[in-house]
Amino acid sequence: MSEAHLLEPLVRRWSRRLPLSADDRSAILALPATKKSFGKDAYMVREGAHTTECNLLLRGFAYRQKLLSDGERQIISIHIPTEFIDLQNGILGTADHNVQSLNHSEVAAVPRSALMELTDKSASARLAMWIDTLIDASIFREWVVNVGRRDARARIAHLLCELALRLERTGAGRDGSFDLPLTQEQLADATGLTAVHTNRTLQSLRREGLIQLSNGILRVLDWEGLRKVGDFDELYLHQKI
């Protein structure tokens, strides 16, 4: 695969949201991109690092997390292919959180300087980057609500609704089944719950016939039911502009 082709998924995703001219497309595809692979749980970005590149996720999953001084972990987002895992580092320079690979993943690493040049050259790319940032922020707002104000059942159901919907939009998943290699511990860290509480909650969602989650596969059996338990309204994902 040539280097330019690495960024084709990005061109496709951005062009679904806004018109990209031929010049915009070639400017994006001309970005120097290097393919990198990460193993399960490998650190992709470390908090405090001065970053020199931004990474577009090509395969697998990644998650952002912060560690507290007492060693507790909070997962703050989960990323799926064609998303940037650290676009902010193109502009901010110092990483304010960690990013880890959930399973085996691949990214296209783009030098920060080249990305900044792109924002200078292409108004559409600038706008697309900003919209990505805005949607990230919108999802973070919803996560504050999720861990702040929903009970355990709703938190887990909400997170599963969000991931299923985002995956579905990228064409991943079939018949309500999605690859979702999240451990119960990671689910707990994403919802601010204990592992035991998470386990009990998943069992109850399963008993009620809403979902199955095993061997890294999520099956949504009753979409409306799960949505209701999760108090889920997809508006904040801004899929339609």
Contact footprint for another protein (CB under 8 A): 47-48, 64, 66, 68-70, 72-74, 76-77, 87-88, 91-92, 94, 96-97, 116, 119-120, 123, 126-127, 129-131, 133-138, 140-145, 147-150, 191-192, 231, 235-236, 238, 241
Question: Please, which residue, 8 or 231, has the CB nearer to another protein?
Answer: 231
Measured from the CB of residue 217, what is the shortest distance to another protein in angstroms? 26
Measured from the CB of residue 69, what is the shortest distance to another protein in angstroms? 5
Question: How far apart (Å, rounded) are the C-alpha atoms in residues 23 and 99?
Answer: 32
Measured from the CB of residue 5, what is the shortest distance to another protein in angstroms? 26
Question: Please, which residue, 18 or 217, has the CB nearer to another protein?
Answer: 18
Measured from the CB of residue 148, what is the shortest distance to another protein in angstroms? 4
Measured from the CB of residue 207, what is the shortest distance to another protein in angstroms? 22
Question: Please, which residue, 165 or 173, has the CB nearer to another protein?
Answer: 165
Question: Please, which residue, 16 or 238, has the CB nearer to another protein?
Answer: 238
User: Can you give the three-state secondary structure of 56-79, one letter per residue?
Assistant: EEEECCEEEEEECCCCCEEEEEEE
Measured from the CB of residue 104, what is the shortest distance to another protein in angstroms? 25
Residue 165 — φ and ψ, nearest 5°?
-65, -45
Question: Please, which residue, 74 or 204, has the CB nearer to another protein?
Answer: 74
First-last CA distance in the chain: 32
Question: Please, which residue, 144 or 217, has the CB nearer to another protein?
Answer: 144
Question: Please, which residue, 84 or 173, has the CB nearer to another protein?
Answer: 84
* Conformational region of residue 188, where left means phi above 0, alpha means psi within -120 to 50, and beta covers everything else: alpha
Measured from the CB of residue 97, what is the shortest distance to another protein in angstroms? 6
Question: How far apart (Å, rounded) are the C-alpha atoms in residues 66 and 43?
Answer: 12
